[in-house]
Structure 1
Amino acid sequence: MSEYQYYEFQALDRPLSGEDQEQLRAVSARARITATSFTNTYNWGDLSADPRRMVERYFDAHLYVTNWGTHRLMLRLPKQTLDLAAAQPYCLGHRVEAWTTRTHLLLDLTSEDEDGDWIEGADDSLAALIGVRDELAAGDLRPLYLAWLCALSAWELEDEDEEEYQTCPEPPVPAGLGELTAPQRALADFLRVDTDLLAVATQASPTTPKKSARPTKKELAPLIAALPQNEKDALLLRLALGPEPALHTELLHRLRGTTAPTTAPGRRSAAHLLDAAHTLLTERRQRAEHERAQARAQRLTALAREADSAWQQIEAHIATKKTNAYDQSVTLLAELRDAYAHTGRDTDFHQRLTRLREDYQRRPGLIHRLDRHGLR
């Protein structure tokens, strides 16, 4: 399979100028560049610019996917919508990073899985993920917590220092982890968040319903009415002077700043979460194994009740003298052996098997298959 890299950048708050597009064309002669996007796929070579610098200067979102297991999402938000101090507790190693420029806060979220399944021709797109940017701007920190869980899972694979696990604190736990939005579910899938780890984390998530990232008219009306008159005048003036694409996000953050989704203090360590997730995984596997064992026991009991019919099928298969029919006979005989053993009738089975081998001793193909499967 050839190398595959997919780069997608989106400009949301401000379209790219003609000069911007010319500068980006110097980065790649093959990329598809519009007033709002830059996309390119590489099967050899690589992007000749640093994606971080491109996001800092031009774009509000970036997606990167490779066929060797890298999934990367970068987001840029106006500084007034998400404070660096609020984002930093969720940063962990190089997989969740946050920094600021003069005007923006940037997030870099990465998942690596070299052993993961790669689907060639998969629909790689920012479309399903871009909604988390508005959610973060509205004060919803669940996307950052999901990214932290992703980094924690990777840390478990890479680091054997138990003391660090014990001292690494859990960041604030956002409300509503048990009821993720569609963009957040897409982000959890994209970052390969461990489902058991998420289930454990959800146990400490406040149950207070999260306000929608798309507020209603009924919700916003009293908040707007409560704004000081001079602030309303300033906002209207900026709107009239436009275009100022980030104004909508800034206004929503200003209106809903005091009603942002709640969080609970993180009280658990990384070791606690990882151990609890491992316990959950073990218990689930044990339940699944028990269910499989029960289902098999039921199948064997039913087969034992219909043993005469099964022997007739075996005789019919053998009578055809066909290779695939011999294989079917041996498969059914192995199941019958287990069914007889399950019901405590091993002697009956072996007596009947002995007679069958004697009746068909001149069928070397059949006898060879019986021997190979321990049906002696």
Structure 2
Amino acid sequence: MSEYQYYEFTAVDRPLTARERAELRALSTRADITATSFVNTYEWGNFKGDPQRMMERYFDAHLYLTNWGTRQLMLRLPKRVLDPAVAADYCVGDGASAWTAGQHIIIHLHREDEEGVDEFDIGGDGLLASIIPARAALAAGDLRLLYLGWLRCLQSEELSDDEPEPPVPAGLGTLDASLTAIADFLCVDPDLLAAAAAGSAPATAEEPSRAQLRTWVTGLAARDKDKILTDLITGSDNHVRSGLLRRYRDEQPATTPAAPATRRTAGEILAAAAEIRVERQRREAQQREQDRVRRERSAAAARQRHLDALAADQPGAWQQIHDLIAAKKPRDYDAAVQLLTDLGDLAERDHATAPFRQRLAELRTAHARKPSLLERLDLAALDE
């Protein structure tokens, strides 16, 4: 199997300058480089650039995929929209880590196929585009992405059983398309995610209404409004909208009961996932058995209808058998034996095996000099 490595970087908050593109070109002569992206695929050799340094200097999102099971995702955000202390609650191992670089924080989510069970069936094209919307949601205060990273650490056995889980964001049971893409890309165990979601409050409305926002904006201090307008006009802050939505939500009174003070431990979540898995497998096995019984009943009913039709014209069926044998072709021999098998089943159903065997013996005698036909009859075991 040939080697496959896929690198993709995307600049979201600002385009790359001509100088920056030239610097990136020095790292790879064959990459596709635009003002907002860097994409390269390797089927031999390795990329000589450092993805972490590239994220610190140029890009806001990065995806790396190989056909031996390595999957990496990095997202860069300004520290003013994602507090590093908040990220530290969730980024606790190799599966999810974070570091700061200047005014940014970079989240690194990582998965390795250490068991060698991956069946490589995906390419990298389009994956990062499906994931990037989760970055804006994280900037707006949706911490589900970070929790998925914590689950990746838990699934990779990086946490002790008594490790407490971080604050559980609402809506884990109803991931949107971008978060689902991340969970799939990191191969997060669906049973583990279901166990985690059991401790998550229902998702609140995705967007406040225009009237709600108008009321809230009216109450802002004049200096806050001045800053917001200045940032919008100058374009100096690409996260104005995300920051305002996060601030709006933070200032709303709680509409759902507070989460229990006692957090679950990693071991408790793993145990709950194991119970969910056992129950899911039981339901799946039950469904497979029901499907098997349904298929067998359907096949049996179809078989009976076929035998009923055959019973209506048995002389015609015997004549067809003689005609097929007379053609002296392997394919026609096979068709003749299949028709004989059907007549044998019909005879057994109607308790008329003796006449059938008598006619079969006569047929064998009549064609005793056709070894190919006789061999097929022997394999069909129609005399038994």
Question: TM-score normalized by structure 1?
Answer: 0.77
Residues 145 and 173 in structure 1, CA contact (< 8 A), matched pair in contact too: yes
Counterpart for residue 204 of structure 2? 210
Q: Distance in 2 between matches of 1:274 and 1:127?
A: 33
2:258 maps to 1:256: no
Pairwise CA distance, 1:75: 0.8
2:6 maps to 1:6: yes
Q: Distance in 2 between matches of 1:176 and 1:197?
A: 15
Give the share of equivalent positions with the same residue, in percent.
42
Change (3 A) 1:179 1:121: closer
Q: Kindly provide the CA deviation profile for residues 64-111 of structure 1, in whole angstroms up to 9, marking residues without a partner as x.
A: 222333332211112222233433444464222233333222222234
| Amino acid across the alignment from 1:177 | L
Residues 300 and 335 in structure 1, CA contact (< 8 A), matched pair in contact too: no
| Amino acid across the alignment from 2:43 | N
2:190 maps to 1:187: no
Residues 144 and 169 in structure 2, CA contact (< 8 A), matched pair in contact too: yes
Change (3 A) 1:368 1:178: farther
Pairing of 1:219-230 with structure 2 (within 5 A): 219-230=212-223
Per mean C-alpha deviation after superposition, the further-off stretch among 130-139 and 103-112 is 103-112
Change (3 A) 1:359 1:100: farther
Which structure 1 residue ranges, 5 or more long, are not aligned? none
Bigger relative contact order (CA 8 A; separation at least 6): 1
Residues 195 and 269 in structure 2, CA contact (< 8 A), matched pair in contact too: no
Pairing of 1:198-347 with structure 2 (within 5 A): 198-207=193-202, 209-212=203-206, 215-259=208-252, 264=259, 267=264, 268-304=268-304, 306-309=306-309, 316=320, 320-321=324-325, 322-324=329-331
Change (3 A) 1:118 1:354: farther
Change (3 A) 1:9 1:347: same
Pairwise CA distance, 1:347: 10
Q: Distance in 1 between matches of 2:66 and 2:355?
A: 58
Which structure 2 residue ranges, 5 or more long, are not aligned? none
Residues 92 and 152 in structure 1, CA contact (< 8 A), matched pair in contact too: no
Question: TM-score normalized by structure 2?
Answer: 0.76
Q: 1:133 aligns with which of 124, 132, 135?
A: 135
| Amino acid across the alignment from 2:110 | T
| Amino acid across the alignment from 2:136 | D
Give the secondary structure class of the aligned counterpart of 1:176.
coil
Q: 1:358 aligns with which of 358, 361, 366?
A: 361
Residues 63 and 73 in structure 1, CA contact (< 8 A), matched pair in contact too: yes
Residues 131 and 183 in structure 1, CA contact (< 8 A), matched pair in contact too: yes
Give the secondary structure class of the aligned counterpart of 1:128.
helix
RMSD: 3.9
Pairwise CA distance, 1:231: 2.8
Aligned pair count?
A: 362
Residues 192 and 269 in structure 2, CA contact (< 8 A), matched pair in contact too: no
Pairwise CA distance, 1:29: 1.7
Residues 321 and 339 in structure 2, CA contact (< 8 A), matched pair in contact too: no
2:162 maps to 1:167: yes
